[in-house]
Amino acid sequence: MPKSRSLRRVDDAPPLDREDGAEKYSAQYLKRRSQQAVLHWLERGNRIASDAARPQMPPPEVLFDLKGKTAGQACSRAHGGSQIRINLDLLRRYPRQMIQNTIPHEMAHLVTSHIYLEHPGRIRPHGPEWKSVMAQFGRPADVTHTMHAQATRRVRRWDYTCRCPGKTHSITTYRHRRILRGAAYQCRLCRSRLEHGATPAPQNMNE
């Protein structure tokens, strides 16, 4: 299973809408600058890896698909490779904070996972190992951000049942469509295959 670390907004942050001058940057320009920043911190991270007698890290895939309160997310795949996911809405409204703070924050997660690959269960997401990388990056080791995030959209959910008496599973539309294409999910308790109910479940906020 892939391991991911994310930077979320602290709930008592002041609701500032955007940085001064943010509107003058296009989305394409900010994506390009973000990718350049990822490569910059990758080079710094590979120096740290070399000092730790670790092999060089390949460039991560950079995606701009995060929504809601999460500013960025680092994901290391078990079979190799990695991803940096970025909230494009926050990037367009807070380009300086996202490029100067969020991207090195997420790259530090990848560097930490790479250096301590043999001991993944012993490394806390924002523990001393990660803080050490951030210190070597020369960036503040902030765990949360203060950017004002937009509410995520509402998503439809679907009722599925298993063999557990009276138990209902609320499935997202994404998983519902996967099931229609042949995917299968099972109950963690009874291990039976989930079966589709008659009506969609009430709408919930997507987290």
Positions annotated as catalytic residues are: 106
**C-beta of residue 103 within 8 angstroms of C-beta of residue 41:** yes
Query: Which of these, 99, 110, 47, 122, lies nearest to 73 by C-alpha position?
Result: 110
Residue 3: CB partners within 8 Å, gap ≥ 6? 75, 76, 78, 113, 120
Axis-axis angle for helices 128-137, 27-51 (nearest 10): 110
d(CA 108, CA 131): 8
d(CA 106, CA 156): 31
**C-beta of residue 84 within 8 angstroms of C-beta of residue 108:** no
What DSSP state is assigned to residue 98? I
Q: Could you tell me the strand order of the sheet in which 3-9 lies?
A: 61-63, 82-86, 72-76, 3-9, 144-145
Question: Rg for the chain (alpha carbons), in Å?
Answer: 20
